[in-house]
Homo-oligomer: A and B are copies of this chain.
Amino acid sequence: MRTTSLSSFLFTTLFVTASAPAADDDGKLRIICFGAHPDDCELQAGGVGALWSARGHHVKLVSVTNGDIGHWRDAGGPLARRRKAEAAKADEILGVTSEVLDIHDGELLPTLENRRTITRLIREWKADIVMSPRPNDYHPDHRYTGVLVQDAAYMVTVPFFCPDVPYLTHNPVFLYYPDQFEKPNPFMPDVAVSIDSVIEKKLDALDALESQFYEGGANGSAELLPSDPAKQQERHRAVRDGFAHRYQSQAQRFRAKLADFYGSDKAAGIKYAEGFEVCEYGRHPSQDELKKLFPFFGE
């Protein structure tokens, strides 16, 4: 089963029919993002998701686990339901579709069942772009989400893997979210996007993920939660400022890549950014193709 690599190296004109991003019937792009928990996609791709959505493209954020141990006080089914609702609210703010799989938080493994689930979700969304964490990250669920998406990356094109769901005739572009880890390789952005025009929307969405950021998630504590309304507002503000700062840092970190896509002048003025690295196991897009997939640069 080497024909794919074969075709990409040698026979391109023979074997591959459609090389342009496969738009769905309505001519719009289709993007599916995987995160390990109901907040990961929003954190990593909430800005670009809002940008696509505002232009009529189709974006879906999938949490692969239900997040049911992601809090210092709550856990189990009640937390799973709360976080699903939080994600739904955040995703509504971003204008994107929301899905949370019912797999225990902290217990994700790269099984065949999970590989099939990921494969079907990508196919059913007829994705042009698939996003995920890298298979190296501090949380095992993040790592195994990365492994599962990698394991599905080629299989989405194989007709008789999951023959119950129509296969993709073109391979999507697979993109990684940024992280801070240096080994075995540091994250290297292949594309970076200004999210200045949607930063308030993104911060509103993150604000809706109350259990995680306002309350501190698994590493939080009761001390984070003031009872005094004025202090509560202050706490909301601190969280929001923290995130604003985070995406400013990202703009700084990805400045060179922003310049590649926006030109140096425009790039210099970008305050908030998101960036992504191309995974080698899906389609290898040219810079031109990336510009079609991220149709924001000329605006």
- How far, in whole Å, are A209 and B140 apart by their CA atoms in the complex? 34
> Within 8 Å of chain B (Cβ to Cβ): is A263?
no
Chain B residue, CB-CB nearest to A284: B180
> Within 8 Å of chain B (Cβ to Cβ): is A106?
yes
Q: Are B157 and A1 in contact (CB under 8 A)?
A: no
Q: Are B238 and A2 in contact (CB under 8 A)?
A: no
Contacts of A239 in B (CB 8 A): 11
Among B1, B68, B79, the residue within 8 A (CB) of A217 is B1
- How far, in whole Å, are A79 and B77 apart by their CA atoms in the complex? 10
Q: Are B76 and A160 in contact (CB under 8 A)?
A: yes
- How far, in whole Å, are A41 and B249 apart by their CA atoms in the complex? 41
- How far, in whole Å, are A180 and B221 apart by their CA atoms in the complex? 43
Interface size class of A (residues with CB under 8 A): 35 or more
> Within 8 Å of chain B (Cβ to Cβ): is A287?
no
- How far, in whole Å, are A46 and B180 apart by their CA atoms in the complex? 32
Q: Are B220 and A3 in contact (CB under 8 A)?
A: yes
Q: Report the 10 A-B pairs with minimum CB-CB distance, sorted nearest first.
A: A76-B76, A77-B160, A75-B76, A77-B163, A184-B184, A75-B160, A69-B160, A102-B164, A75-B77, A140-B151
Among A5, A14, A140, the most chain B Cβ lie within 10 Å of the Cβ of A140
A–B complex contacts, Cβ < 8 Å, 21 sampled: A1-B36, A1-B39, A1-B139, A2-B217, A4-B138, A5-B138, A6-B242, A10-B246, A17-B221, A66-B163, A69-B159, A71-B159, A71-B160, A72-B159, A75-B75, A76-B78, A77-B163, A81-B163, A102-B165, A106-B155, A184-B185
Contacts of A153 in B (CB 8 A): 138
Q: Are B238 and A179 in contact (CB under 8 A)?
A: no
Interface string of A209-240 (1 = CB under 8 A from B): 00011001111110110000000000000110
Q: Are A3 and B212 in contact (CB under 8 A)?
A: yes
Chain B residue, CB-CB nearest to A43: B2
> Within 8 Å of chain B (Cβ to Cβ): is A73?
yes
> Within 8 Å of chain B (Cβ to Cβ): is A245?
yes
Q: Are A212 and B1 in contact (CB under 8 A)?
A: yes
Q: Kindly specify which of A49-57, A112-120, A194-202, A291-299 makes contact with the partner chain.
A: A112-120
